[in-house]
Amino acid sequence: MGRKIVVALGGNAILSKDASAAAQQQALLATAKQLVKFVENGDQLIISHGNGPQVGNLLLQQAAGSTEENPAMPLDTAVAMTQGSIGYWMQNAMNQVLKEKGLKQTVATVVTQVEVSADDPAFKNPTKPIGPFMSKGEADLAKKENPDFTFIEDSGRGYRRVVPSPKPTGVVETQAVKTLVDAGIIPISVGGGGIPVVTNGDQLIGREAVIDKDFASEKLAELVDADALIILTAVPNIYVNFNQPNQKKLERVSVAELETYIEENQFAPGSMLPKVQAAIDFVKATGNQAVVTALDNIEGFVKNGSGTVISKKVSVRS
């Protein structure tokens, strides 16, 4: 068995403008053709994914059709529902590509619960964007129809609903994931950041929240003793001074450098910052490397290590 790697895929890579099942399945087939390059390289994959657009859309669909006899499901259940649907699409896409390549591995989705603290301050301060972008008018109308919802302007691209996003403290199905890995099966786990649950005696109780998939992926990578955490995003590298004339891409970077850049507010809170923070957490906890790069740069990373590689120490500032 080669390197054990957790690969975290963003929910926006699955759904762009077309929210139909067919379009998302087609996007995942293209994604699978990239991910399989890790398998061809001899790596043992553990796949995680976001679900922000999907769970937000599902909640809007439920709110629009909710009746006393057929009420909308709570947020934790909606996360479980999108874990299942995205996992179903992804495992089928991966299995198709693996067969086309003559590779023997199979793929299985684990509907995953992720432990959070009931006292996490995030429950009083919703910040995690979910669902589609809206105009100000559309957001005002959605707020009028759903008074309990909170909407904010997100990254200059429109308005989105935000929900609590507590930090993960554990992954309930860690042993199940390890068992699949030991059997040579590719697990899809902590989908959408996992179903947020708190412990109450012998019970696990779902909470109304969406866990950031980067932090959940990092926690899983720690717990399964992964050799690397790879976070896939829209750009091939982390950049400082992003979209400015003095923009610079980072290729080999230390934890200390990234922490300095965080202090300089180099990374947008809603997009690159959680990826950088999750990568730092993984490197600090394990001593292994984390990588942030683009889905379409997987071949470049596998062949020549391109992307942003984060280590405990790097001798030359990149």
Helix ranges (DSSP H) in the chain: 21-40, 52-65, 75-100, 136-145, 174-182, 213-223, 255-263, 272-286, 298-304
> Is there a catalytic annotation at residue 249?
no
C-beta of residue 220 within 8 angstroms of C-beta of residue 177: yes
β 107-109/186-188 pair status: parallel
| Widest CA span in the chain | 64
- Exactly one of 52, 56, 191, 213 is catalytic; which is it? 213
* Residue type at position 259: E
**Dihedrals φ, ψ of 280, to 5°?**
-60, -45
Per-residue burial over 239-278, b if 16 or more Cβ lie within 10 Å, else e, is: bbeeeeeeeeebebbbbebbeebeeeebbeebbbbbbbbb
- Residue 7's H or E segment, with its range, is strand 4-9
What's the CA gap between 151 and 100, in Å, rounded? 44
Count of positions (residues) in the chain: 318
C-beta of residue 92 within 8 angstroms of C-beta of residue 84: no
- Exactly one of 4, 56, 219, 275 is catalytic; which is it? 275
> Is there a catalytic annotation at residue 99?
no
- Exactly one of 51, 52, 56, 128 is catalytic; which is it? 128
> Is there a catalytic annotation at residue 219?
no
What's the CA gap between 115 and 62, in Å, rounded? 26
What's the CA gap between 318 and 309, in Å, rounded? 10
Angle between helices 21-40 and 75-100 (to 10 degrees): 60
Nearest to 11 by CA among 131, 110, 157: 131
> Is there a catalytic annotation at residue 305?
no
C-beta of residue 215 within 8 angstroms of C-beta of residue 168: yes
Residue written as tokens 């030359």?
A: 316
> Is there a catalytic annotation at residue 101?
no
Catalogue the active-site residues.
11-12, 128, 213, 275
